[in-house]
Amino acid sequence: MNSELQDEPRAAAALVARQAEVLEALSAILPAQALLHRREETTAYECDGLTAYRQVPMLVALPESEAQVGAILQACHALGVPVVARGAGTGLSGGALPHRAGVTLSLARLQRILRIDPLARTALVQCGVRNLAISEAAAPFGLYYAPDPSSQIACTIGGNVAENSGGVHCLKYGLTLHNVLHVKGFTALGEAVEFGSEALEAPGLDLLPLIVGSEGMLAVVTQVSVRLTPKPQLARCIMASFDSIEAAGAATANIIAAGIIPAGLELMDRPMTAAVESFVQAGYDLQAAALLLCESDGTAEEVAEEIERMCGVLERSGATKIEVSRDEAQRLRFWSGRKNAFPASGRISPDYMCMDSTIPRRRLAEMLRAIEQMERTYGLRCVNVFHAGDGNLHPLILFDANDPDQLHRCERFGADILETSVRLGGTVTGEHGVGVEKLNSMCVQFSPAEREQMFAIKRAFDPEGLLNPGKAIPTLQRCAEYGKMHVHHGMLPFAHLPRF
Amino acid sequence: MACCPLPICPVSSALRRAFDRPAMIQEDTAAADPVLQRLVDQVRAAQSDGRALVIRGGGTKDFYGGAAAGEPLQTGALQGISSYEPSEMVITARAGTPLPEIEHVLAQRGQHLAFEPPHFGAAGAEGTVGGMVAAGLAGPARAGAGGVRDFVLGASVLNGRGELLRFGGQVMKNVAGYDVSRLFVGSMGVLGVICEVSLKVLPIAPARSTVELSGKQAQALRQVHEWTRRALPISASAWHENTLRVRLDGALAAVRAGTARLVEEFGVGIIEQDAARAYWNGLRDQQDAFFASGRAAEPGATLWRLCVPATHPPLDLPGSTLLEWHGAQRWLFSSAPPAQLREIAARAGGHASVFRAPQRGADFLAPLPAPLERIHRALKQSFDPAGIFNRGRLYPWL
C-alpha cells in the first residue's frame, strides 16, 4: 500500500476501495447509523482538543455495547486496519487524531453506570461515562471521584484512563492511576482482557500502570472500576499574594516541608491573574507578582488546624496579603479564576498553545526566568498557571494562528519550554499526554534504547501495531530527523543533555 | 465530648541536613561507576552464554516466589541515596541501599514510605530498596495509603541486553511514554535489574491512635467499611480471633475527634501506644502471634495470601485466618490443596498466592488467562530476550 500512496490519485482510489471493504465487514457488526463513512459525517471527528492537527478518518464506528467493541477489533485485526479509540475528544495532545486509513472507534455511547458500591467505595462504569457523572452518581452516598481534570464536565473516564489524567487535587488525592482499581477491555486482536483487580492486586506482572496513560496504544478499555473518596465535610481556600515568583515558589516548598499536603496548591503569574480577573472577577490581587491558592479539606477540626498552619507558613514566607475564604461561595469564587485560566487566555489572544511540562518544584523560578527570555527570543507573550504542589506547569503561549510565522515561532517556543523542562530534571508532559504534539520532545527525554524498549512493549500487546499507530513514541528515524533540523544552544539537543 | 487523654504521639518535625547529590543513573553513568559496570558486564556475559542469573539484594525475601536457579547477581554493593529533597517529597536511592537506612533518613525530616514496607528476615538482616520494589509488598497501611506501585516515580533498570534504561523521573506527574518504572513493582526480577528508584514520600502524620473492638468477622468487615466511608482517618485495620484493631493517622484534631467518636459511639477500647506500635510492626514483618503460632500449630502448613475485594463476606477457609487491609488481604495457614484455595479466592473475585511454603512448588501464583499469559511472555521476551533473569521466580514458564 505504501508505494501506491506515493501516487495520489491511485492512493485515493485505493482508500475508497479499502473504505468499502472495511465498511462491509463492520456492517455485519453495527447498524448503518452507527457507521459513519460520508465525508460530512466523519469530518466531525477530524481532531480532538488539539485543533492544530486534523485528519479525517476513513470510517467512524459508534458501538453501543462492549461486545460490539470486541467484534469491531476482531474484524479490524483480520483486515489489518488501524483503530483509534476516542472518548469525548477533549484531549489536548492529539492522542485521538484519526488515522487516514483507519477506523475511529468512538466509545462515547458506552455510558452506563453499572454499579455504585457505597460500602466498598467503588463505582463500576463503562468507558464513555463522563468524569463528573461518576461524582454526581456517587454524591447521594457522600462520595465522589477525586481526579478532576479541567475538562471533567465533558471528558470520559475511558479517556482519563488512556491519558492518566490529573487535575488540581491530585497532590493529595492522586492521579487516575491511583484511583482506578480494575479495567476490562479488548486487545488489538479483539480478545477480552482485564487488568488490575477490585481485590487491589492481581496475579503476575502489574500491567495496569502500563495501560493507564498508554494513550490507547496497548488495549481498548471498555469498563472501569474506580475508587470513590468520602466527600470532605468542609473545604477552605487561602489566597496569598507575593511580590515575586521566587517568593511564591519558596512558599509552596515551605508548606510541603512543614508536612502539609494541601488539597490544592495553585500558582498564577501576574499576566494570568490580570487576564482571568477581567474575565470572571474572582477578586484577585492585581498588584501581586504571583498569586497562590492553597486549599485545605477534611473535618471542621482538621481544616481549622491546617488553615492556621498554612497561614503561618505563608506569612513567614513573605506573603504580602492573605485572604481565607469565609464560605463556600467565596471559595468557589477564588477557584473560578484558576479554573477559567484557559478561556480567559482565549479572550486576550486569538489563539493560545497550552504547554504541560513538569519540573522539580525548586526549579520554578529558574524555569519562569527562562520563559521570560523565550518571550523575547520568539517575540510572543506567555502567561503561566502552575499546579505548584506537584510541579506541573501550564505556560499558555499567546499567538495568532492565521499568521504562519507566529504559529511557527509558537511551536519553537513550546519545544524550547519542553526541552528546558527536561534539562531541569522534569518531563515533557505532566498530564496531557504525548499524542502527536510532543513526539519530537520525546526524542530529547528518552534515549534510543529506551524508545526501542517502549516499542517492544507496544509489540507485546499489539504485534501488528494497529492500535493508535504513530502516537506517543517517536521512531528512531523521526528523532534523527528532528536532531538534524533542530540545533539547540549550538548543540544537538540530545547529545549530552542530563535526563533527570 | 469526652476529654479523656488519648495516647497520641506527636512526631517531631526536625529539619536538619539536606541531601544534595548528583542526580540519577542514566545510560552513560555505568562507565564512570565500577559497581554498576560490573553488573552491566555480568548481564552481558550471561546474555551471550544464555546463563541464568538470580538477582539478589539483602536476601530477606528469598523465601518468596517460585524457585529460581542460576548464578547470583548481587545488587548489595550498588548503594547510596542519590538525592533527597524533603520539600519535593522525593527520594532517589540505588537498589542495594538498605531499607532501614532510607527509613532513618526520611524520619529525620519527618517523612516516611507511606506504604509501610515489611522488614523480613532474621534479626540484623536488612532488605534493600530494590528488593522492596521488585517484590512489591506493602504493610498494614496499604489499604489507606496505597501500595508500592503508587509511590514509584521512576527507575533506572538494566534489561537483558545489558542496556541501562531510565523511565519515569523524580516528579509526581509524568505521562511521557509508558509507565515502565511501575511495571517493575512486583515483577520479581523477571524483567531486569532495578538499579535505582525514585519514590514519592509523605509527611508522617502528626498523630496516631489504635483502637480495638470485639466482634465476628462479618461484623468487623462491615464496621471498618462504615467507618472509612465516614471520612474517619483510618490508615490500617486487622481482624483476627474475634478482635478488630483499627489505626487512625492524621492531623491531631482529626485523630483526637475520630478516636473520641469511636469510643463514645461504638465503645472501642484504646490500645496503649507502645503496644500498638509493636502490634502493627509485628503484623507488617510477620512476627505477630498469628504468624508465629500459625507456623507452630501446623508445621507443614503453607501460609497463603488471598487478595479479594475488601467488602467480600467471610470466606469459608480451611485454617486459621487473619484479615488486613480492611478485608482485601486475608492470610491463611492451611495444608489444603492449592486448587481448593485458588477456587475459593477466584469465586470471591480475587486470587490466592503461596506466601511461605515448607517446600517450594511451582504454584506460587494463580494461572493467567490466555491473552495475559501471551502478553507476559511477549513482555519478558522484549526485556530479556535470552531469558536470563530470575527464571521461574514469577511463573515456571516465564
A422 and A497 Cβ atoms separated by less than 8 Å:
yes
Task: Please give the pLDDT value at position A142.
Answer: 95
Closest CA to B263 of B220, B210, B326: B210
Q: Which three cell numbers stand for residue B44?
A: 552481558
Chain-centre distance for alpha carbon A355? 11
Hey, is the C-beta of B310 within 8 angstroms of any chain A C-beta? yes
pLDDT digits (tens, 9 = 90+) for A23-61: 999 999 999 999 999 999 999 999 999 988 999 999 999
Distance set, CA B297 to CA B250, B286, B333, B353, B359 (Å):
38, 15, 9, 21, 17
Residues with Cβ within 8 Å of residue B231, at least 6 apart in sequence: A230, A231, A232, A233, A298, A299
Task: Please give the pLDDT value at position B23.
Answer: 47
Q: Which three cell numbers stand for residue B97?
A: 541501599
Task: Please give the pLDDT value at position A334.
Answer: 95
Query: Phi, psi (5° rounding) for residue B320?
Result: -80, 135
Hey, is the C-beta of A299 within 8 angstroms of any chain B C-beta? yes
Once rounded to an integer, what is the mean pLDDT over residues A396-400? 94
| CB–CB contact B378 A459 (8 Å) | yes
pLDDT above 60: residue B3? no
Whole-number Å distance between alpha carbons of B306 and B301: 15
Q: Which stretch of A97-111, A112-126, B357-371 has the lowest confidence by average pLDDT?
A: B357-371
Confidence band for B19, pLDDT divided at 50, 70 and 90? very low
Once rounded to an integer, what is the mean pLDDT over residues A197-209? 97
Phi-psi region of B392 (alpha: psi -120 to 50; beta: other; left: phi over 0): left
pLDDT digits (tens, 9 = 90+) for A136-182: 999 999 999 999 998 899 999 999 999 999 888 899 999 999 999 99
A residues 159-188 closer than 8 Å to B (CB): 163-164, 166, 170-171, 174-175, 177-178, 187
Task: Please give the pLDDT value at position B27.
Answer: 63
pLDDT digits (tens, 9 = 90+) for B99-142: 999 999 999 999 999 999 999 988 788 999 999 999 999 999 99
Task: Please give the pLDDT value at position B24.
Answer: 61
Q: Rounded to a whole number, what is the distance in Å from the CA of B388 to chain A's nearest CA?
A: 17
Distance set, CA A234 to CA A118, A231, A326, B383 (Å):
20, 9, 12, 48
Closest CA to A170 of A5, A390, A426, A462: A390
Task: Please give the pLDDT value at position A339.
Answer: 85
Q: Which three cell numbers stand for residue A284?
A: 484577585
> Which is more confident, A417 or B23?
A417
* pTM attached to this predicted model: 0.93
- B-chain CB neighbours of A200 within 8 Å are 142-143, 147, 307, 310, 325, 328-329
Please give the interface size between A and B, counted as residue pairs whose CB atoms are below 8 Å apart. Answer: 280
In a mutational test of the A interface, the residue from B175, B221, B306 whose CB has the highest number of chain A CBs within 10 Å is B175
The ipTM assigned to this model is: 0.93
> Which is more confident, A105 or A280?
A105
Whole-number Å distance between alpha carbons of B19 and B108: 12
A345: helix, strand or coil? helix
Chain-centre distance for alpha carbon A45? 19
Residues with Cβ within 8 Å of residue A289, at least 6 apart in sequence: A242, A243, A244, A245, A248, A269, A270
Residues with Cβ within 8 Å of residue A7, at least 6 apart in sequence: none
Q: Which three cell numbers stand for residue B359?
A: 517446600
Q: Which three cell numbers stand for residue A498?
A: 542530563
Whole-number Å distance between alpha carbons of B65 and B332: 17
Q: Rounded to a whole number, what is the distance in Å from the CA of B185 to chain A's nearest CA?
A: 7
Whole-number Å distance between alpha carbons of B335 and B30: 48
B1 and B260 Cβ atoms separated by less than 8 Å:
yes
Owner of C-alpha cell 522488614: B119
pLDDT above 60: residue B21? no
Q: Which three cell numbers stand for residue A296?
A: 485545605
Whole-number Å distance between alpha carbons of B203 and A259: 5
In a mutational test of the A interface, the residue from B173, B190, B354 whose CB has the highest number of chain A CBs within 10 Å is B173
User: One-letter amino acid identity for A441?
Assistant: S
pLDDT digits (tens, 9 = 90+) for A257-284: 899 999 999 999 999 999 999 988 999 9
Q: Which stretch of A105-109, A384-388, B121-125 has the lowest confidence by average pLDDT?
A: B121-125
Task: Please give the pLDDT value at position B26.
Answer: 64
Owner of C-alpha cell 531510565: B166
Mean pLDDT, rounded, of chain A = 93
Give A34-86 as a DSSP string: GEE-SHHHHGGGS--S-TTS----SEEE--SSHHHHHHHHHHHHHHT--EEEE
Once rounded to an integer, what is the mean pLDDT over residues A441-451? 94
pLDDT digits (tens, 9 = 90+) for B189-234: 999 999 999 999 999 999 999 999 999 999 999 999 999 988 789 9
Task: Please give the pLDDT value at position B8.
Answer: 34
| Dihedral angle, C-alpha A188, A193, A198, A202, nearest 10 ° | -100
Hey, is the C-beta of B118 within 8 angstroms of any chain A C-beta? no
Task: Please give the pLDDT value at position B25.
Answer: 67
Whole-number Å distance between alpha carbons of B46 and B361: 26
Give me the long-range contacts of B339-342 (CB less than 8 A, separation at least 24): B341/B304, B341/B306, B341/B317, B342/B366
